[in-house]
Amino acid sequence: MKTIKYSDALREAVAQAMDADPTVIVMGIGVDDHKAIFGSTKGLVNRFGPTRVFDTPISEAAMTGIALGASLGGLRPVHIHIRADFLYLAMDQIFNMAAKWRTMFGGKMGAPLVIRAVIGRSWGQGAQHSQSLQSFFMHVPGIRVGMPTTAADGQGLLLSALKSSDPTILIEHRFLYDIMGEVSEPAVPTPFGRAIVRREGKDLTIVANSYMVVESLKAAEFLSANGIDAEIVDPISLVPLDQNTILGSVRKTGRLLVIDTSWVTCGMSAEIAALAADQAFSSLKGPVRRMGMAPVTCPVSKPLEKLFYPTAETIAAEAFAMLGRRAPAGAPVLDAKFKGPF
Amino acid sequence: MKTIKYSDALREAVAQAMDADPTVIVMGIGVDDHKAIFGSTKGLVNRFGPTRVFDTPISEAAMTGIALGASLGGLRPVHIHIRADFLYLAMDQIFNMAAKWRTMFGGKMGAPLVIRAVIGRSWGQGAQHSQSLQSFFMHVPGIRVGMPTTAADGQGLLLSALKSSDPTILIEHRFLYDIMGEVSEPAVPTPFGRAIVRREGKDLTIVANSYMVVESLKAAEFLSANGIDAEIVDPISLVPLDQNTILGSVRKTGRLLVIDTSWVTCGMSAEIAALAADQAFSSLKGPVRRMGMAPVTCPVSKPLEKLFYPTAETIAAEAFAMLGRRAPAGAPVLDAKFKGPF
Amino acid sequence: MKKKPRFSPERDLALRLYRTMLEIRLAEQRIVTIYPSDKIQSPVHLSIGQEGISAGLCLALAPGDHLYGTYRGHGLYLARGADMGEMFAELYGKDSGCTRGKGGSMHLVAPHVGLMGCSAIVGSTIPVATGDALAAKTLKKKYVTAAVFGDGAVDEGVFFESVNFAVLKKLPVIYVCENNKYAIHSKVSDRHAQTVVAKFASGLGLRGITIDGDDVFGVYKTVLREAAALRRGGAPVLIEMTTHRWQEHVGPGSDIEEYYRHKGEKSRAQRSDPLSRAQSVLKKKFGVTKDDLVAMQAEITAKVDGAVAFAEAAPFPGPQRLAADTFASA
Amino acid sequence: MKKKPRFSPERDLALRLYRTMLEIRLAEQRIVTIYPSDKIQSPVHLSIGQEGISAGLCLALAPGDHLYGTYRGHGLYLARGADMGEMFAELYGKDSGCTRGKGGSMHLVAPHVGLMGCSAIVGSTIPVATGDALAAKTLKKKYVTAAVFGDGAVDEGVFFESVNFAVLKKLPVIYVCENNKYAIHSKVSDRHAQTVVAKFASGLGLRGITIDGDDVFGVYKTVLREAAALRRGGAPVLIEMTTHRWQEHVGPGSDIEEYYRHKGEKSRAQRSDPLSRAQSVLKKKFGVTKDDLVAMQAEITAKVDGAVAFAEAAPFPGPQRLAADTFASA
Ligand SMILES: Cc1ncc(C[n+]2csc(CCOP(=O)(O)OP(=O)(O)O)c2C)c(N)n1
Ligand SMILES: Cc1ncc(C[n+]2csc(CCOP(=O)(O)OP(=O)(O)O)c2C)c(N)n1
Ligand SMILES: [Mg+2]
Ligand SMILES: [Mg+2]
C-alpha cells in the first residue's frame, strides 16, 4: 500500500496496463504535452513512445469512432477528454456505435475502448466546461460507467476497464485530482458493479458520487457531531449499478438522500430515488430527496456558483430537514482551494 | 373542429405559422421531397418556395448550429429529423449552444429554433432507428421539450413553439402519424407545462407519454372491465413538466406507474417516479413502478421486439400486480399495423 | 478481340467477378419477390445496379482485409463470400441470421471474411474503419481496411475529420464512395456546390480518384493497385465509384422514373448495367457462351432457393436472447 | 516617404486601428497584472500579439455586421467598441458584466455592436455564424457575418459541414481563421499533413486566402474588400490570418520559450508585433509623433483604470439571478 494523488493513481494504472499489454494505447488532445491532463498522463509518451501515446486533432466525433475501430482491430485505446462537455460531439459514435456494437452484431464482437472524461468546476468554467453527463451513459445500454472517487477507485476501475471486452467510460472530477489516497502495489482491478460504503450509519442513507462523496463525508461529520448518523454509499460503478448495496442501506436506515454532480432531472439521483421508491418502498420512512446542480446553466460568478452546487452545508441541512430537525449553526464549509487558470 | 391525421395536423400548424409569420422556415433532410417526412411537410415547398422550405446536406451537427444562428438572425427555423437517433450528431449544438445561449449571455438573446424528431419503431428499425432521447433533453436545462400524442397536441405545441423565444424540441412517434384526432380551426397554441388527463380514474395513476398513452388507454379499458379504474396522465410537455397535475393524480390514487417510450434508467419514468417519491410520498400506498424499453439495444427480430416494448397487455399486468391482483386472461393486443419499408 | 484460353486465370477471375454480381442481383431480386409477403420486416436498401462495386472491391481485397459498410450492405456481405442463408435468415429476423436477428438487413456482419460491420447512421463507419487501419498500422499487421459509404456520407463532418487523421498518420485505409448520385432523393448537386466527390477532401491532402463503378473489371483493377500501394506503406486514398441506383432508396420497388431523378437516367442506368457490360466482356474476350451463363444462373438460383429455404426453416430467437449480448460477461 | 496631412481620413483610420490594438494590449496587460490577486476567477485566453486581427477585422466590418468569436474573445469585444468596464466586470463575475456574471471571460457578448456571442467549444460558432448569414440572406438584410476561430477549429467536422452549406447557398459569411500556430500546445503540423489552412476546404469550393494577420492595415483592407464583395452577392471566403500567440494558451503567463514552441519563435513574434509595426507606419507615413503616442497611451491607461474601477465597485449578482434567464418568460 502507498498513498498517492488521484492523478498519479490514474497514471500509474495505465502505465501498469501498458507494460503488461502492448495493445493499450493512450490518445486524446493534450495527453502528450507538459500539462499531461493534470498530470494523469505525465511521462507516458517518453516511456511508451508516440505510437502508443499521442495527441489528436480536435475532432472528437471521428476520434471516438477511430478509438472504436482501433478496438475492433485489436488495440485497447484509452481516449481522454479534459472536459466531459466535449463528449457531446462524440455522442453518435458513443451511443449509436460503440454502445451497440456487440448487440447489433449478435455478439460477434466486443469493442473494448475506454473513455476518460474530466468534469470541470469553478474558476470560471461556466456553461460549457462544467457538465457531467453520467445519466446519458446510464440511460442508453451498452457502456460500463464508472465514477471513481478515490485514488484506489481510479486505479482499480481503469485497470478493470482495460481488461473488459466492452466499452467503458470513466467520469472523473477535477477537484479529486490532487486528493491523496491509499492504493495497493501493484494496482489491482476493481470490479464494476460494487458500491462502496464510505461511512456506516443508521439514521439515513446518502448515496453520492464523485466529488459529492467528499462533500457528503464532511456533512456527515457535522451530522454526527449533532447526533445524526449518516450512512454514505458511493456507487463508483453506475453501470452496472450495485442496487443491492444501495437498497440494503435504504432498508436499514429508511431514509434516502441522493446527491449527484449533475442536474437532478432524469439524473443519477432520479434513478436511485426511483429504484428505492420501487424496491425499498416498504422500508421508507419519509420522502426520498435529491440534490444536484441547480436546474439552470452553470454560472461563472462566484456567489452564483456557490448556490449552484450542493455543499457539505446544504447537504447537512437537507439531512436535518429529512429527520425533522432544524439545522444548527456551524456547518462546515469545504474549501476546495481550487485555482485556475484552468 | 375537424378530425385529421397527426401528420396533417403538424403540416397544417406549420403552414398556418408560415402564413402568419414570414420568418418561419422549414429545413431538414427530405422535408421537400415526395415522402415529405411521412406527409408532415407535404406541399410546403410548393406553397412557400425553396427559400423557406429546403432540404439540407446530411450534416446534422452544422445544420443544427445553422438553425441556431438563423434564429439569432431573425428566422424561426423548424429543423426536422426523420429519426431522433440522428440527434446524437447534433448534441453539441443543442446542449452546449442552443440550450445555453440565453443564460450564458446573461439574457441578452433568445434562440427560437424548433427541432422536430421522429421516434422510429418496428419493421426492422433496430439499434439505430428506434431511440427516443427525451430524458437527455430533460436533464440539461434550457430547452422546452414536448411529446405530442394527439393531432391536437402536435398542432398546438408546434404553434406554441413557433411563438416562443427559446429553443424547443418536439419528439414525435412514427406510430402516431396516421392516427386521426380532433383539432380546432384555425389551430391554436397549446401552452407548454400543462399535462393532460387522458382518462380519469381512482385506483392508480398511469403517467405515460406519446405512443405509450395509446397502449395505456387500451390497457385501461381492460383494467376497467376488470374493476380497476386507472387514471392516465399524459405530460405532453416534459419541460416544463406539469408536476402539479401528476402529483395531484398520485395523491388521489396513491399508486403510480410510469411508462416511457425510452429506457427506464435515468429516463422520464425515473424522474416522475422520483418526483412522486419526494412530493407525494405520504400518499403512496405501494411501490412506484416504471416501464419502458427493455435495458438492451433494440432488436430487429419480431418476437424479441415484442418483448422489448411495453404493451397494453404488459401494462395491464403490471397494474393488476400493483393492486395485488392476478392478471386475468383476455388482455387486449394493440395491433399497430405498421408496415415498412421505412 | 483475341479469345483467351478457357482456363486462364483472367477468365477465371472475370467469371468470379460476374458470378459475384449475379449472386447479389439474384438474391436481391428474390428479396423483391418475397417482400410483399411481409416475411421480411426490415427496411431493405437494395444494391441492384450497383453490384460492380461490391464485386470488384471485395474480390480485389485480400482475404484478411477488413471492410465496413452501410445499411445498403447485401452486396458487400455476399461478395465477401459470407453465408447467403444467414443473410436471408437475418432478413427474416431468425436466430440463424448473421446477427441472430438483432441487427436485421441494415447491420450485416461477417468478421470471418473481413466484413466487420454495417451501420445505418450515414457516415458513421468512416472513422471506425479509419481506427481499424490505425490498429493495423500500430500492430504491424498487413491488412488493409476499406470504408464503403455513399455520396451522402461525404456531407458528414466525420468524413473530413477521419480522412484528416488517416492522411496525417498515413493509415492503410481505402475510402470507397459509392456515388449512386442520390442520398435518398437528394442529388449531390443539391447538397454541394462542387460536385466531384473525389476532390472534397483534397485540401486535407487526401488523394482522390473517380472511376466507373459499373465497370467491375475497372473497379477490381483499381482496388488491387491501391491496396497493394497501401500495403507497401502508401498514403490513404478516396476512390469515388460512380454507379446507378435502380430501386427506390429503401424498399423493394423501383422509382427510377420518379420526378426527382436525373433526366434520361433510366436508359443511362440500363446501358451502364454492370452485369450486361461484364457479360459482353465474358462473351467477347473469354468465349463464355450463353449456355455457360444459363448454367451459372441456374446454379445461383438454386443457391438462393437454398438460402431462402434455410431462412424459412430457421427458428426465431427465443425470449432469452433479448438480454443476451449486451456485455461480454453478462 | 511622403508625409500625409495631419487630418486625412487615412491617417485617422490608421490611428483608430492602432488605438484599437493598444486598447486590447493595455487591457490584457492589466488582466495579467490583476490576475495574481485572484479577483479574476476565470480562465483567461489572451490575445496579446494577435491584436492586429481583431482591430483590422472589427473596424473593416460595418456597424450592422455580425461577429462570432471564441473564448479568446477580449480582442473582438473591445475592437467592436463594446464597453470595457462591462468586460472587466464580467471577468470579476459582477452583475454589471456584459453577461451579468453568467458567462465570464469565455463568453463575451455585445449584440448592440454586432458581437453576437463567444463560445468555449472549439469550432462551435462556425455553424452559428453561417446560420446567421442564412438569416441575412433569407430576410434580405445587408449585414455580413464573420466567424472568427483558431487554427484548431478547422479540425472539427462542423467547419467542413458549415462551409459546404455556405458555399452551396452562397451565404454572406467570412470565415476568419486566426492562425496563431497552436491549438493549446499542438502545432498545425501535429494535426494535419497539409498545413495551409486556407486550402483545407478548397475541395468544397471554398475560396481561401492567407494574409499576414500581424499587419493591421492589410487585415483591414482585405476584410473591407471581401465584405464588400459579399454585400454585392459574392461567395463566402475563408481568410487565414497568420499571427503569434505570446502568452500561454490560457492564463496570464508567457510560455513563448517553452519546449513545444517553434524554434526562434520569440524573436519572430517580436519582430511581427502588430503594434510596433503599425507604430512605424504611423510615424513614417502619417507623421505621428512620440508625444502623440504617449498621450494616446495615457488616455487608454486612464480608460483601463476607469474600467477596472467600475468592475471593482460593481455589485455581485444577487441570489435571485441564479434562476434568471433560463427561458424568456421564466
Ligand atoms: C446521420 C444520418 N442522417 C440521416 C439519415 C437518413 N438517411 C438514411 S440513408 C440516407 C442517404 C444516404 O445517401 P448515400 O450516402 O448516398 O447512400 P445511398 O443510400 O445512396 O447508398 C439518409 C439521409 C441517416 N441514416 N443517418
Ligand atoms: C470541442 C472542444 N475540444 C477541445 C477543447 C479544448 N480546447 C480549448 S482551446 C483548444 C485549442 C484551440 O486552438 P485554436 O482553435 O487554434 O484557438 P486558439 O486557442 O489558438 O486561439 C482546445 C483543444 C474545446 N474547448 N472544445
Ligand atoms: Mg447515394
Ligand atoms: Mg491557435
Q: Which of B60, B172, B271, B305 does the annotation list as catalytic?
A: B60
Q: Which atom of ligand 2 is nearest to the CA of D122?
A: 26
- Bridge partners (DSSP) of residue B240 are none
Q: What phi and psi values does residue B325 have, to the nearest 5 degrees?
A: -115, 155
- How far is Cα C191 from Cα C178, in angstroms, rounded to an integer? 16
Helix (H, G, I), strand (E, B) or coil at D175: strand
Quote the DSSP letter at residue D65: -
Q: Is the pLDDT of residue D4 over 60?
A: no
Q: Under 8 Å CB-to-CB from A331, ≥6 apart: which residues?
A: A219, A222, A312, A313, A316, A317
Residue type, C192: H
C191-215 per-position pLDDT tens digit: 999 999 999 999 999 999 999 999 9
- How far is Cα A129 from Cα A118, in angstroms, rounded to an integer? 9
A90-129 per-position pLDDT tens digit: 999 999 999 999 999 999 999 999 999 999 999 999 999 9
- CA angle D6-D12-D17, nearest 5°? 135
The sign of the CA dihedral D145, D151, D154, D155 is negative
Cell of C151: 455520396
B94-135 per-position pLDDT tens digit: 999 999 999 999 999 999 999 999 999 999 999 999 999 999
Hey, are the CB atoms on A290 and B270 less than 8 Å from each other?
no
**Closest to A157 in 3D by CA, of A199, A212, A107, A196:** A196
In this prediction, residue C1 carries a pLDDT of 45
Residue pair B162/B21 in contact by the 8 Å Cβ criterion: yes
Closest-CA residue, ligand 1 atom 20, reads C183
Q: Is the pLDDT of residue C3 over 70?
A: no
| Location of C-alpha cell 481503469 | A158
Q: Ligand 1 center to residue B29 CA distance, Å?
A: 9
Residue pair B67/B61 in contact by the 8 Å Cβ criterion: no
Averaged pLDDT of chain A: 97
Q: Under 8 Å CB-to-CB from B305, ≥6 apart: which residues?
A: B122, B298, B299
Within chain B, which residues score under 50 in pLDDT? Answer: none
Residue pair B103/D102 in contact by the 8 Å Cβ criterion: yes
A259-303 per-position pLDDT tens digit: 999 999 999 999 999 999 999 999 999 999 999 999 999 999 999
* Known catalytic membership, residue B313: no
Q: Under 8 Å CB-to-CB from B54, ≥6 apart: which residues?
A: B25, B26, B27, B31, B32, B45
In this prediction, residue D1 carries a pLDDT of 45
In this prediction, residue C6 carries a pLDDT of 66
The sign of the CA dihedral A61, B101, B237, B266 is positive
The greatest distance separating any two alpha carbons of chain C, rounded to the nearest whole angstrom, comes to 62
Q: How many CB pairs under 8 A join C and D?
A: 66
Distance of CA B218 to the CA centre of its chain: 19
The predicted model gives C159-178 an average pLDDT of 98
* Known catalytic membership, residue A173: no
| Location of C-alpha cell 439574457 | B107
Sorting pLDDT into bands at 50, 70 and 90, what band is D330?
very low
Closest-CA residue, ligand 2 atom 18, reads D150
Quote the DSSP letter at residue C252: S
Sorting pLDDT into bands at 50, 70 and 90, what band is A333?
confident
Nearest to C161 among A61, A106, A109 (CB): A61
Between these two residues, D141 and D330, which has the higher pLDDT value? D141
Sorting pLDDT into bands at 50, 70 and 90, what band is A334?
confident
Sorting pLDDT into bands at 50, 70 and 90, what band is D7?
confident
Q: Which chain B residues are closer than 8 Å to C318 by Cβ?
A: 303
- How far is Cα C239 from Cα B129, in angstroms, rounded to an integer? 29
In this prediction, residue D6 carries a pLDDT of 67
Q: What phi and psi values does residue C169 have, to the nearest 5 degrees?
A: -100, 5
What percentage of chain B carries pLDDT values higher than 90?
97
Q: Is the pLDDT of residue A38 over 90?
A: yes
CB-based contact, C124 to chain D, within 8 Å: no
Determine how many CB atoms are found less than 10 A away from the CB of residue B334: 15
Hey, are the CB atoms on B138 and A281 less than 8 Å from each other?
no
**Contact partners of D by the rule of 3+ C-beta pairs under 8 A?**
A, B, C
- How far is Cα D100 from Cα D92, in angstroms, rounded to an integer? 10
pTM above 0.95, yes or no: yes
**Closest to C259 in 3D by CA, of C166, C182, C170:** C182
Distance between start and end Cα atoms, chain C: 62
Helix (H, G, I), strand (E, B) or coil at C13: helix
Nearest to B105 among D107, D125, D133 (CB): D107
Cell of A168: 467503458
Q: E strands along chain D, which residues?
A: 66-70, 115-119, 145-150, 173-179, 182-183, 186-187, 207-212, 237-242
* Torsion-angle region of D212 (φ positive above 0: left; ψ -120 to 50: alpha; else: beta): beta
Cell of C173: 485505409
CB-based contact, A62 to chain B, within 8 Å: no
In this prediction, residue C330 carries a pLDDT of 44
D19-50 per-position pLDDT tens digit: 999 999 999 999 999 999 999 999 999 999 99
In this prediction, residue D3 carries a pLDDT of 52
| Location of C-alpha cell 480582442 | D75
Tell me whether the omega of the peptide bond preceding residue B191 falls within 30 degrees of 0, making it cis. no
Instruction: List C-alpha distances in Å: B1 to B151, B184, B190, D167.
Output: 12, 4, 15, 46
Exposed e or buried b per residue across D228-241, where buried means at least 16 C-beta atoms within 10 angstroms of its C-beta: ebbeeeebbbbbbb
Cell of A266: 432524469
The predicted model gives C119-143 an average pLDDT of 98
Q: Which chain A residues are closer than 8 Å to B297 by Cβ?
A: 99-100, 103-104, 141-142
D77-136 per-position pLDDT tens digit: 999 999 999 999 999 999 999 999 999 999 999 999 999 999 999 999 999 999 999 999
- How far is Cα C260 from Cα A73, in angstroms, rounded to an integer? 41
Exposed e or buried b per residue across D17-49, where buried means at least 16 C-beta atoms within 10 angstroms of its C-beta: bbbbbbbbbbbbebbbebbeeeebbbbbbbbbb
Q: Distance, in angstroms, between D179 CA and closest chain A CA?
A: 15
Q: Under 8 Å CB-to-CB from D215, ≥6 apart: which residues?
A: D52, D56, D274, D277
B131-188 per-position pLDDT tens digit: 999 999 999 999 999 999 999 999 999 999 999 999 999 999 999 999 999 999 999 9
Closest-CA residue, ligand 1 atom 8, reads C122
Directed axis angle between helix A6-20 and helix A151-161, to 10°?
30
The sign of the CA dihedral C271, C276, C281, C283 is negative
Q: Is the pLDDT of residue A323 over 80?
A: yes
Cell of C153: 456520407
Q: Distance, in angstroms, between D51 CA and closest chain A CA?
A: 21
- Top residue of A21, A100, A104 to mutate, by most chain C CBs within 10 Å, is A104
Determine how many CB atoms are found less than 10 A away from the CB of residue A116: 28
Determine how many CB atoms are found less than 10 A away from the CB of residue A180: 14
**Closest to A94 in 3D by CA, of A113, A118, A110:** A113
Torsion of CA C231, C235, C238, C239, to 10 degrees: -50
CB-based contact, A261 to chain B, within 8 Å: no
Nearest chain B residue to D158, by CA: B62
In this prediction, residue B341 carries a pLDDT of 83
Q: Which chain D residues are closer than 8 Å to B61 by Cβ?
A: 127, 157-158, 161
The predicted model gives C233-249 an average pLDDT of 98
Averaged pLDDT of chain B: 97
- How far is Cα A94 from Cα A117, in angstroms, rounded to an integer? 13
Q: Distance, in angstroms, between B63 CA and closest chain D CA?
A: 7
- How far is Cα C13 from Cα C18, in angstroms, rounded to an integer? 9
Distance between start and end Cα atoms, chain D: 62
Cell of B100: 445555453
Q: What phi and psi values does residue D255 have, to the nearest 5 degrees?
A: -130, 30
